């Protein structure tokens, strides 16, 4: 069973896009600690506070074992140059314009970063395919699916936000490259990831900031939405293990009761990384209140366009491939975030 130390347990050259971002930072830190050579790439976009991104990068640089490039995915020459310098065995593509709500008013950013950016990366790696290409997708591709839990083989052709539509496009485009150029590719669908060094545009960060300031929090969907919250350390563990399991064309996983999403015509599969344990928004807020020792003043609002009602992962495929599935208790994960936030933003 893979143990996260890499294919055959040896150090590898790993190229990661989005290393100044929440997930890329944590993954890079973990892989460096595991002894791998990590080369990062990030454009430090101003979608949220670039100082937070720079501080994450500073921590990576402080390891003395991180190399990186500040440039945009749209700059194909810079991307090609960075990949050429790294000569990666593994590529993990996390850089993207994230966020459902921002995509309602800023669709162009999603076309540029997610579709053009991913296309540029695929064009570059096709010349010298890595042993495994891993690409971030999202639970949002399931849209307002009624059947739960969401399995990778479920139909997800009805995205309800531009963000989801661009991520679904990346899945499809990467499949064609996997087929045409024999690039072993895994797309992973993340489910509301949270934890220390998290994103300021996400609910947990906004809730903690507002409650600490004594300001009301905006609770969308009248608090009835449910999310399969995934703690960052669990996500990173799942990713680290998946690195070592590249899909092989014509060799689907054989495990009782698990349907592999392996393509019938390419070394390509899609994997959920979620625990299959969704929580209601009000329970999530209660965990935040508990961790802060303060009650929130709640501003109940209708569901926003683009937001899905529920996300609920089936972790069966991830577990069968890696022997692992996320399980960190919400109260424990929220407390870890609150501890980090309180230390970093001691004065507000």
Ligand X SMILES: NC(=O)c1ccc[n+]([C@@H]2O[C@H](COP(=O)([O-])OP(=O)(O)OC[C@H]3O[C@@H](n4cnc5c(N)ncnc54)[C@H](O)[C@@H]3O)[C@@H](O)[C@H]2O)c1
- Cis peptide leading into residue 143 (ω within 30°): no
Q: Can you tell me which of 28, 38, 86, 98 binds ligand X, judged by CB under 6 A?
A: 98
Region binding ligand X by CB under 6 A among candidate stretches 31-39, 70-78, 250-258, 312-320: 70-78
Active site residue 163: yes
* Tokens, residue 130: 């890595």
Q: What tokens appear for 143 in the block?
A: 């849209």
Nearest CB to ligand X, comparing residues 198 and 247: 198
User: Which conformational region is residue 13 in: left (phi greater than 0), alpha (psi within -120 to 50 degrees), or beta?
Assistant: beta
Among 4, 6, 18, 326, binds ligand X (CB under 6 A): 18
Q: Tell which residue, 89, 31, 92, 86, has the closest CA to residue 60.
A: 31
Q: Which of 28, 39, 89, 113 binds ligand X (CB under 6 A)?
A: 113
Cβ distance to ligand X smaller for residue 252 or 280: 280
Reading the block at residue 205, the tokens are 């960060």
Q: How many CB atoms lie within 10 A of CB 71?
A: 16
Give the C-alpha distances (Å, rounded to integers) separating 161 from 99, 104, 131, 175, 247: 10, 7, 32, 21, 29
Least distance to ligand X from the beta carbon of 252, Å? 25
Nearest CB to ligand X, comparing residues 95 and 162: 95
Rounded CA separation 215/229 (Å): 24
Q: Is 283 in the site for ligand X (CB under 6 A)?
A: no
Per CB under 6 A, the list member of 118, 120, 138, 174 interacting with ligand X is 138
DSSP line for 62-125:
HTT-EEEEE--TT-HHHHHHHHHHH--SEEEE------STHHHH-HHHHIIIIIIHHHHHHHHH
211 lies in the site for ligand X, by CB under 6 A:
no
Residue from 29, 30, 36, 53 binding ligand X (CB under 6 A): 53
Per CB under 6 A, 272 contacts ligand X: no
The one among 119, 190, 324, 337 contacting ligand X by CB under 6 A: 190
The catalytic position among 102, 142, 163, 177 is 163
184 is a site residue for ligand X (CB under 6 A) = no
Contact set with ligand X (CB under 6 A):
18, 20-24, 42-45, 53, 72-74, 94-98, 113, 117, 136, 138, 190, 192-193, 199
Which residues are part of the catalytic machinery? 163
């Amino acid at each position: 069973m893979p143990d996260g130390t890499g294919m055959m347990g040896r150090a590898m050259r790993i190229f990661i896009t989005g290393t100044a971002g929440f997930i890329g930072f944590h993954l890079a830190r973990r892989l460096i600690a595991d002894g791998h050579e990590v080369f990062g790439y990030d454009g430090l976009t101003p979608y949220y506070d670039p100082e937070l991104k720079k501080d994450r990068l500073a921590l990576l640089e402080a390891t003395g074992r991180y190399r990186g490039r500040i440039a945009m995915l749209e700059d194909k020459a810079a991307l090609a140059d960075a990949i050429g310098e790294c000569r990666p065995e593994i590529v993990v593509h996390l850089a993207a314009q994230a966020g459902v709500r921002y995509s309602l008013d800023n669709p162009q950013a999603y076309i540029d970063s997610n579709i053009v950016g991913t296309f540029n990366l695929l064009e570059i790696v096709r010349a010298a395919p890595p042993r495994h290409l891993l690409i971030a997708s999202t639970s949002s591709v399931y849209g307002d699916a009624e059947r739960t839990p969401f399995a990778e083989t479920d139909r997800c052709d009805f995205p309800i936000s531009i963000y989801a539509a661009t991520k679904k496009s990346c899945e499809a485009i990467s499949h064609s490259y996997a087929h045409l150029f024999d690039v072993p590719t895994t797309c992973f669908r993340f489910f509301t990831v949270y934890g220390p060094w998290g994103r300021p545009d996400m609910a947990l960060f906004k809730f903690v900031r507002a409650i600490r300031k004594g300001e009301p929090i905006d609770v969308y969907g009248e608090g009835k939405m449910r999310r399969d919250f995934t703690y960052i350390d669990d996500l990173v563990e799942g990713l680290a293990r998946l690195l070592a399991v590249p899909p092989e064309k014509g060799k689907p996983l054989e495990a009782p009761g698990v349907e592999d999403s392996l393509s019938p015509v390419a070394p390509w599969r899609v994997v959920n990384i979620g625990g299959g344990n969704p929580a209601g928004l009000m329970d999530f807020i209660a965990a935040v209140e508990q961790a802060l020792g303060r009650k929130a003043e709640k501003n109940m609002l209708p569901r926003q366009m683009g937001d899905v009602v529920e996300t609920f992962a089936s972790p069966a495929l991830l577990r069968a491939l890696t022997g692992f599935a996320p399980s960190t208790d919400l109260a424990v994960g929220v407390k870890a975030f609150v501890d980090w936030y309180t230390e970093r933003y001691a004065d507000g």
